[in-house]
Amino acid sequence: MIKLQIESKRNQMLRLAEKYGFTSDETVRCSQELDELLNTLQIPIIRNKI
C-alpha cells in the first residue's frame, strides 16, 4: 500500500515539475509529502537495524 502511495506521489511531483518547474511551491510541497511517505517506509527498516 505505502509503495503505491509513494509511486503515485512521485508521479504527481514529476508532473508538477514539468508544468511549474522544480522550484515552484506546488512541486516543493509535493516533494515534501513524498519525503514523508518515504520516511514512513524507512523508519521500520532503521529500527530493525539498531
CA angle 20, 26, 29 (to 5 degrees): 140
Cell output for 30: 509535493
What global pTM score does this model have? 0.82
Give the whole-number percent of the chain exceeding pLDDT 70: 84
Q: Which CATH superfamily is domain 2-49 in?
A: Helix-loop-helix DNA-binding domain (4.10.280.10)
d(CA 33, CA 5): 10
Looking at residue 45, its pLDDT comes to 65
Looking at residue 42, its pLDDT comes to 81
**1 band by pLDDT with thresholds 50, 70 and 90:** confident
Query: With 60 as the cut, is the pLDDT of residue 50 above it?
Result: no
d(CA 4, CA 50): 27
Query: With 90 as the cut, is the pLDDT of residue 4 above it?
Result: yes
d(CA 40, CA 6): 10
Q: Which amino acid is at 32?
A: Q
